[in-house]
Amino acid sequence: MKVLMFGWEFPPHISGGLGTACYGLVKGLVHHKQDIIFVVPKLWGDEEPLADFVNASDVTIDYRERKFKKIWKNLTYLEVSSFLVPYLGPEEFKKYTDYAMHDRVDIDESVFSNKFEFSGKYGKDLMKEVSRYALVAAQIAKSKEHEIIHAHDWLAFPAGIAAKEISGKPLVCHVHATEFDRSGESVNKPVYDIERAGMLAADHVVAVSHLTRKVCIERYGVHPDKVSVLHNAVLDASIIKSDAKKHVPEKIVTFLGRITFQKGPEYFVEAAKKVLDRDDNVRFVMAGSGDLLNRMVERVAELGMGTKFHFTGFLKGKDVDDMYAISDVYVMPSVSEPFGIAPLEAVRHNTPVIISKQSGVAEVLRNAIKIDFWDVDGMADAIFGLLHYESIAKMFKELGSEELKKLKWEHVAAKLVTVYEKLTKE
């Protein structure tokens, strides 16, 4: 089957789990002989040749066609005055400067150049790029033969809708995270509206967990029959043998992720204090960046943990693997986590994990210690236990590695192909 797929990033140029999930899913679909056209705003030239990649920056459109004018008229146009990442939410883009439905007469003519140059980044012009990306998507849908359309997360939902309007093919919207995950109850209304429009326009919605499926139904009004669950997976279930060396004598406990409300870094900091009060032969690491970073640094200083708590900044590639490898415990205390691939990667490095019950990965990773994100005492007890009782840590390592063998992208892709086949036959 020929699948026209819209994403916003693809490895090796990614900002988080979305790009990694897209890569795994595409690889799984190729394994099942699916023909993928993968569209991104900007190609960098070093992507693995798994699909027919289309660089949106190279597509010329004829926006004067009636259908294109209609699509533009129905697009939401936003200018955002601060830096954005797709999963981050609104603390970093509360102040948008304009929100309106625009027709061609009240938009700068430069928006309608024949070819758009996308930055491929998440800067202040992100929403302008989302709108332009939808126009380009319509042109691609018109020129590229396909049987089904698949759009990943809200940045690509307008593109998926536009492609469906042009070709009339079924649309699958893949929800990797929602605005409620990123910002709790303080949702950014324009982003919520884009998400809801995508889900309602879709012929089928794929959610990465039962947790996310529930949100799609209850918060976005999607009919339950239209939403199915496809859990994320790992590219390789084998245990990674690392030559990374730990250069400190203490045990290492790691938080690796975006330092934002969604990820619960403040609970990790408070638990660290409780562990150190019982045993100071431990070092804590917070690897990542985000809008709460400065606040976490200040809180660590207030608690007097400066010599036992380390901030690495954003890690990628081999540095991420090395961090997992030298860690004795990995903790993911997310307040709301649609899925969470990081714990699976930690297990691949033979590192026992503690995860919040408020995460999608808790639905598939049974052999992990699960705590409520707010239960700082429980988190501290779990960390202390894994550090001091080797038999418990060994048990979780062994059971976790066995569990990974069931979590393969080929299995996920097989379920998705069934969804595709059903939609194209209707």
HEC sequence for 397-415 = HHHHHHHHCCCEHHHHHHH
- Domains located in the chain, CATH noted: 2-233+409-425 (3.40.50.2000), 251-404 (3.40.50.2000)
> pLDDT higher for 9 or 285?
285
The amino acid present at 361, given as its one-letter code, is V
Q: Is 47's pLDDT higher than 90?
A: no
Strand bridging mode 96-101 / 76-80: antiparallel
Can you give the pTM of this predicted structure?
Answer: 0.82
Q: What does the pLDDT read at residue 239? A: 79
Q: How confident is the model at residue 151 (pLDDT cuts 50, 70, 90)?
A: very high
Q: What is the mean pLDDT of residues 58-65?
A: 66
Q: What does the pLDDT read at residue 77? A: 35
Q: How confident is the model at residue 367 (pLDDT cuts 50, 70, 90)?
A: confident
> pLDDT higher for 94 or 10?
10
The residue among 24, 46, 23, 33 whose CA lies nearest residue 3 is 33
Strand bridging mode 282-287 / 227-229: unpaired
Q: What is the mean pLDDT of residues 111-126?
A: 60
Mean pLDDT of the chain: 84
Q: How confident is the model at residue 366 (pLDDT cuts 50, 70, 90)?
A: confident
Give per-residue burial for 358-395: e unless 16+ CB within 10 Å, then b.
Answer: bbbbbebbebbbbbebebbebbbbbbbebbeeeeebee
Q: What does the pLDDT read at residue 25? A: 95
Q: Is 227's pLDDT higher than 90?
A: yes
Q: What does the pLDDT read at residue 43? A: 83
Q: Among 31-45, 66-80, 91-105, 260-274, which range has the highest average pLDDT?
A: 260-274
- From CA 335, how far away is CA 107, in angstroms rounded? 40
Q: What is the mean pLDDT of residues 299-320?
A: 94
Q: How confident is the model at residue 237 (pLDDT cuts 50, 70, 90)?
A: confident
33 burial (CB, 10 Å; 0-12 / 13-18 / 19+) is exposed
- From CA 133, how far away is CA 153, in angstroms rounded? 14
Q: How confident is the model at residue 85 (pLDDT cuts 50, 70, 90)?
A: very low
